[in-house]
Structure 1
Amino acid sequence: MSNYIFFTLGKQVPRSFGSCDLRKNFFNFFFVFVFFLPFSLFSQVSREFNNPEQISDNIKTVLFHRNGWPMSYPVIGLGTGQKLFLSFDELGTDIKSYYYSVEMCDKEWEPSELMRTEYADGDQMIPVENFRRSFNTTFDYVHYELVFPNENIDLLLSGNYVLKVFEGFKRENPVLVKRFMVNEQRVSVEADVKYTMQSSGRSNFQEIDFEVHYPGLSIMDPGTEVSVTLMQNGRTDNAITGLPPLFFGNDRMDFNYNREVIMEGGNEFRWVDLRSFRFQSDHISDITFYDPFYHADVFTDQHQGDKPYYYHKDFNGRYYIEVQEEQDPEVSADYAFVHFSLDWMPPVGGREVYLTGGLTNWLLIDGNKMEYDFDQNLYTLTLLLKQGYYNYQYLVVDDNDARGSVLPVEGSFGRTENDYLILVYYRPAGGRYDRLIGAEVVNSVNP
C-alpha cells in the first residue's frame, strides 16, 4: 500500500505521509475513496474540448492522416520518419498560391508559449507545390496535396500542433486549420473497453479502463504532471480531457475509474455509396443529372432507438474517395448534391440534429445542422460530396450544450464497435510545454 499515491475528491493525499501513516489512515481514506469518489471526481473531469479546426466554405474533401494509412488518426512518432498526408479540393479552376505552416499548442489546444525555433526547424511558410485540376467533371476543382515533415520543415518536440493553410502571406486568414499530434511513445497503454458497471446504463454505454506503464521514465508527481485525453472515433464534442490517474506507483498509473469514464456505445454507422453516378447503391433512391450538376437522394433514414443491435462492418465515421468507372479518383471523381432526410420527432426545447462523421469534418456548425421541413415532416440537409464511400450518423444536441448524443436517433449499445484514442500528456514541474508521451488506439471489439 505504501508504494501508491491515491487521490480522493480530486485532491492528492499529502506525500509527506510515511508508510506507517498511510497504513494507519488507510481505513478512513478507503471509506472516503469508495463512497465519495464515484460521485465527485467525474464532475471534475472536463468534457469541454477546444477544437481549433476550421475549413472555408470553398474547401472540400479534406483528408488528413498518417502517410500511407488513410484510416488513421493524424498522429506521428517523434523522430521516427513517419509523415502526415493532407489533401483537399478547392472549387473552381483558379490555382492559388497556397502556403502552410505549423504551430504548437498545449494539451487544451491553446497556443504554446514556446518560440517557434524551440519546436520546429525549417521555413515558417512552405508552398503547397503539388496540385492538379479536375478533368471530365461537372464541378471544376483544384486538388491539392502535401506531405510533411519534409526537407523544408521538421518537428523537434512532441505534443499538440495545428497545420494552417493560407493564400499568399495571409497567415492570419487561413482557409484550412487541422489538428495533429506528435508522440514520443515513452509509455505503454493497456486498455479494456467493456460494459459499464452502472446497471441503469449497462446496455447503452461503454466503460474504458486502462493503465499506463512508464518504466525508465522519471515522473516525480504523476498526479499533477500527467493527464489523459480520451476520444471516441473522430468526435471531439464528447472528448474527456484532463483525466488524472486514480493512483500510481511501481512505474504504473491506474485509470480504472469504473463508473466515471464512460461513453455512449452508439450504433454502427450508416453509410452512403456514391462511387458511381450510373448505378445507384442500395441506400440511394435516385441519382439525377439536373444540368449542370448531379443530385443524389438518400433513402429517408429512420430512427433506430427502438431496434435491436445489428453489427455490420463500418469505418467508424470515416470515408474514402473512389470512382468505379475511373482510375484517378483524386481528380476524376465528380461532386454531387447529396440530399439526406430523417424521419424523427419535430424539434422541441431548442434541440438540434446534426449529421456527423468525416463527411462533415465532425464539426457541429450551422452548415451541418438538419433543418426540419414541416411540409414533409422530415429533417433535411444537402451536402456537396465527392464520389466515394461515406459513413455518417445523426447527433442530437440540446440547447446550450456543446456535447451531442447519438442515443435518441441511432440508439446506443454496449456491444457497438468503436475506436478510442488515448492521449497521455506530461508536463513536469517548471515545464513550459505539454509532452505527448503516449498515444494508443484501442478498439472495443478487437483490443
Structure 2
Amino acid sequence: MRTTILSIFIFIVSFQQTFSQAIEVIEPYHIRTIQFRGTSAQSQLPIIQLGQRLQLSFDDINGDESDYYYKIDHYNFDWTPTDLSKGEYLDGFDDVRIETYENSFNALQLYSNYFFTIPNRETRGLKKSGNYLLTILDDDRNVVFTRKFMVIERVLSVAVEIKRARDIRKIDEQQVVQFTVNSPELLLINPKQNVKTMVMQNSNLKTAIVDLVPQYTIGSELIYRYDQEAAFEGGNEFLFFDNKDIRSATNGVRRVQLNDLYENFLYTDVDRSTRPYTFAPDINGNFLVRNLYAENQDIEAEYVVMHFNLQYFEDLGDKELHIYGNFNNWTIDETTFMRYNKESDSYQNARLFKQGFYNYKYVLVNRDGSIEQGPISGNFWQTENDYTVLVYYRAPGSRFDRLLGEGIGNSTTINNN
C-alpha cells in the first residue's frame, strides 16, 4: 500500500510540473540538511526585499567534493514562468558553480558542506519582485533539487488579524486569517482581477490559501473578511528533540547507542487528538543545526540516526503515517514513513538527521497526497501559529506579477470578535 500511495503522489507532482510549471524537485538521499534563509536565523521560506541577502547551504553525504551549479528563474503568482528575459530580473548571471564548500571535520559521517549567498561576485542581485525558483544542478546539468523564494517591494501595507471560526462546529479547531490591504500611493486597478493574495501558516507553502479576492473596498483599502475560505486547522504545538550533546540522553532522547553512527532513541509519542491542549513553546516546525562542543556547526555537527516511536491505535485504512516538519521542506517521502512494528504495537521510523534542535509532528497521508494533521496531533484554536499574507499586483499591460505587500500575524492575539 505504501508504494501505491507514493507512486500516486509522484504522479500528482509530475502532473503539476507539466501543466502548472510549479516545479519542485525533491532532493535525493545523499543531499541532506538544506538550509535556505533570507533574514531569519532559522531555515524557512525566504521572503526578502530587493537588495537583501539570500543564503543556501546543504550537505552531500557522499563526501566526494562534487561540482554543483545554481540557476535562478522568475515566476508569476501561479508559478508559471514569466516572459521576462534573464537580464531583466537578474543583475549579473547565474548557471554558476558553487565554489565555497568544506569537508566535515571530526565527524563519523563524512560529508561536504556547500554554501553560497546572493548577492555575490557573479550574481550581483535581483531586480524584480515576485516569485523565484532556485535550482541546483550537478555536473551533467541534471536537476538535483529546487527551492522557492520570494522578493518583495514594500509598497502596500497589510494588516492581519487572527480570529476564531464563526462556524460553531469548528470554533474549537480552526483559526481564521482576516486582513486589510491599504494602498495609499498606488492605484490598484480592477483589484478583483489584478490583485492576488497568498496566506500561509508557519511559512508552509504547500498548505497556502491562494484563491481569495477582496470582498469590498473602502477608500484605498481592500477588505478580506472571509471565514471558512480563509480558515486553517489550528493543529497542535510541535513535538521536538534536541541532541546538541550527542552522547547523552536529554529531555527528548531516551537512549543513545553508537554503531557505525550515533543513534538516538526518542521517547514514545502518543495520540494527542483527544487530550486537552497544553502550551509548549516551539519554533513552528523549523530546525536549527547545533553541536554543543563545535566551533563550526556546519562541518563539525554529527549525523545521527533518530528513532521515532508512536503509539496510535486507530485503523489507518488506506492511509499512511509520516513524520512532518520543515526539516525537509514539509515533504512526504520514503524517509518520513512510519512503519508498523507488530512486536511493539507501535509505528516506527529511523531517519538520518544532522545534530541539532528539530520540530516535528505526525500526520496522515491520503492516497491523493493530501495531508491530515489533526487525527494524531489534534486541532486546537489556542495553538500558537505564525501567519503570513503576501499581496501581488499585475498592472494592466504588465508582463509579470509584482509582490508589493506582506502582512504578519500570530495566533497569540486570536479573538472571537
- What TM-score results when the alignment is normalised by the length of structure 2? 0.90
Map 1:309-320 → 2, pairs under 5 A = 309-320=277-288
Q: Which amino acid aligns with 1:133?
A: N
Q: Secondary structure at 1:112's aligned position in 2?
A: coil
Structure 1 residue 124 corresponds to structure 2 residue 94? yes
Structure 1 gap segments, 5+ residues each: 1-47
Identity %: 31
Task: Tell whether the 8 Å contact from 2:212 to 2:229 is kept in structure 1 after alignment.
Answer: no
In 2, distance between residues paired with 1:94 and 1:133? 9
Equivalent of residue 393 in structure 1, options 361, 369, 385: 361
- The one-character-per-residue Cα deviations of 1:260-307 (angstroms, maximum 9, x if unpaired) are 2101111111001111122111221211001x2111111111010111
Structure 1 residue 363 corresponds to structure 2 residue 331? yes
Structure 2 gap segments, 5+ residues each: 1-19
Partner of 1:351: 319
Partner of 1:197: 166
Q: Structure 1 67/238 Cα, relative in aligned 2: closer, same or farther at 3 Å?
A: closer
Partner of 1:258: 227
In 2, distance between residues paired with 1:243 and 1:230? 9
Partner of 1:339: 307
Partner of 1:242: 211
- The one-character-per-residue Cα deviations of 1:1-36 (angstroms, maximum 9, x if unpaired) are xxxxxxxxxxxxxxxxxxxxxxxxxxxxxxxxxxxx
Cα deviation, residue 417, structure 1: 0.5
Q: Which amino acid aligns with 1:233?
A: N
Partner of 1:66: 38
Q: Which amino acid aligns with 1:219?
A: L
In 1, distance between residues paired with 2:237 and 2:193? 37
Equivalent of residue 26 in structure 2, options 36, 54, 57: 54
Q: Structure 1 105/399 Cα, relative in aligned 2: closer, same or farther at 3 Å?
A: same
Partner of 1:407: 374
Count of residue pairs the alignment pairs up? 394
Structure 1 residue 325 corresponds to structure 2 residue 293? yes
Task: Tell whether the 8 Å contact from 1:99 to 1:169 is kept in structure 2 after alignment.
Answer: no
Q: Structure 1 232/49 Cα, relative in aligned 2: closer, same or farther at 3 Å?
A: farther
Partner of 1:437: 404
Partner of 1:276: 245
Deviates further, 413-422 or 354-363: 354-363
Q: Which amino acid aligns with 2:322?
A: Y
Q: Which amino acid aligns with 2:166?
A: M
In 2, distance between residues paired with 1:341 and 1:289? 19
Task: Tell whether the 8 Å contact from 2:273 to 2:376 is kept in structure 1 after alignment.
Answer: yes
Partner of 2:17: none
RMSD of aligned Cα (Å): 1.9
- The one-character-per-residue Cα deviations of 1:33-73 (angstroms, maximum 9, x if unpaired) are xxxxxxxxxxxxxxx99562421221101111115633554
Partner of 1:33: none
Q: Which amino acid aligns with 2:55?
A: F
Q: Which amino acid aligns with 2:180?
A: E
In 2, distance between residues paired with 1:151 and 1:245? 42
Task: Tell whether the 8 Å contact from 2:34 to 2:56 is kept in structure 1 after alignment.
Answer: yes
Q: Secondary structure at 1:442's aligned position in 2?
A: strand
Q: Which amino acid aligns with 1:84?
A: L
- The one-character-per-residue Cα deviations of 1:378-397 (angstroms, maximum 9, x if unpaired) are 22222100110000011222
Q: Which amino acid aligns with 1:430?
A: G
Deviates further, 313-322 or 143-152: 143-152
In 2, distance between residues paired with 1:433 and 1:133? 41
In 2, distance between residues paired with 1:346 and 1:377? 12
In 2, distance between residues paired with 1:62 and 1:261? 30
In 2, distance between residues paired with 1:49 and 1:191? 30
Task: Tell whether the 8 Å contact from 1:196 to 1:202 is kept in structure 2 after alignment.
Answer: yes
In 1, distance between residues paired with 2:23 and 2:272? 29
Q: Which amino acid aligns with 1:427?
A: R
Q: Secondary structure at 1:139's aligned position in 2?
A: coil
Q: Secondary structure at 1:314's aligned position in 2?
A: coil
Structure 1 residue 146 corresponds to structure 2 residue 116? yes
Q: Bigger radius of gyration, 1 or 2?
A: 1
In 2, distance between residues paired with 1:408 and 1:115? 47
In 1, distance between residues paired with 2:220 and 2:66? 52
In 1, distance between residues paired with 2:370 and 2:200? 13
Cα deviation, residue 128, structure 1: 1.2
In 2, distance between residues paired with 1:274 and 1:405? 28
- What TM-score results when the alignment is normalised by the length of structure 1? 0.84
Q: Which amino acid aligns with 2:156?
A: V
Task: Tell whether the 8 Å contact from 2:271 to 2:377 is kept in structure 1 after alignment.
Answer: yes
Map 1:17-28 → 2, pairs under 5 A = none
Cα deviation, residue 169, structure 1: 5.6
Q: Which amino acid aligns with 1:267?
A: N
Q: Structure 1 209/442 Cα, relative in aligned 2: closer, same or farther at 3 Å?
A: same
